[in-house]
Structure 1
């Protein structure tokens, strides 16, 4: 791999940085809302699964004792 001097490196970094496309405020807000909704859905799902497993385990332990 060829080595570049610091000036070339900085020029290449600036050229790559110019290619970055930042999301708009609207895109950021929508994405944040979608993440919050999905986190809530998954929290409810895992809470329900945990509840079912707990009740099942308690039933098995009652039968076993």
Structure 2
């Protein structure tokens, strides 16, 4: 594999991994109630990748529980 190919693949995987939310931006991005967002932010934040993943997990779990 050529050096240039490796660098391009690495940047595709790693780009944005350390991007952070501030609390207000997190609330707006996911349409959360401020208290719920603050709890998640304190527990899992401030990295976007971690918070986005956690919100997706919670929403998936909430939707699967609705059918039961």
Same fold flag (TM > 0.5): no
Structure having the higher Rg? 1
* TM norm structure 2: 0.33
* TM norm structure 1: 0.35
Where is the helix percentage greater, Structure 1 or Structure 2?
1
Higher RCO (CA-CA < 8 Å; seq separation 6+) = 2
